[in-house]
Amino acid sequence: MLDFNQFEVVSFDCYGTLIDWERGILPVLKQLLSSREIDLSDDGTLELFAEFESELEKDKSDYIEYRKILQEIVKKFDQKLNFEPTETEVKTLADSVNNWQPFPDTVAALSALKQKYKLAVISNIDDDLFAGTAKHLKVEFDWLITAQQVRSYKPSTRNFEIALETMGIPPEKLLHVAQSVYHDIVPASSMGISTVWVNRRQGKAGFGATMPANGKPDFEVPDLKTLVEAIG
């Protein structure tokens, strides 16, 4: 069991952990497909999203912003399923991010944790896209570490290295909370950072919008409310 008193900062992955991104992603992509009479299951749609996102984020030739990655994901759906999106449709997924909503437990949990810890976000996102999300979270974070600032994407450990440097703390003072084993739990754990896996897909098949991965978090919860109760 973790000693929650040892930590000074709690950091979060945002999309998938604080924000219900699958509920944001699916309507956009399903509308795109249904308008072409393409029948693809929700799980199949999310798995393709995860595959395409991972390919684009791992491209070492040049960093591209996340808005562009979301646009390229739409184009990859078109290449995979043989349809051609309009210029407007290419932008729909990125344009929808501002409307993606928090999980029901997110806002109250952040407010409670803010009373005990400094809070940070370490996210594969652009600064301007997160600015649209921030208004839904209703808490002031002490640090925001984006992929745009770091110019790399998790699961690169560089994002966590820069986060620790920015916060000015050693790994043992940071608790990282995330839904994605692939993007967060594996790289953070490899650096000696304690991790909490928020198993948002508990009871569902597969890994949803994230790539499959094996990792061992220090603590597992089904939601943030349970984490707050565990911390007490």
20 is catalytic: no
Exactly one of 13, 20, 126, 184 is catalytic; which is it? 13
Encoding tokens for residue 168?
Answer: 């000015």
Catalytic amino acids?
13
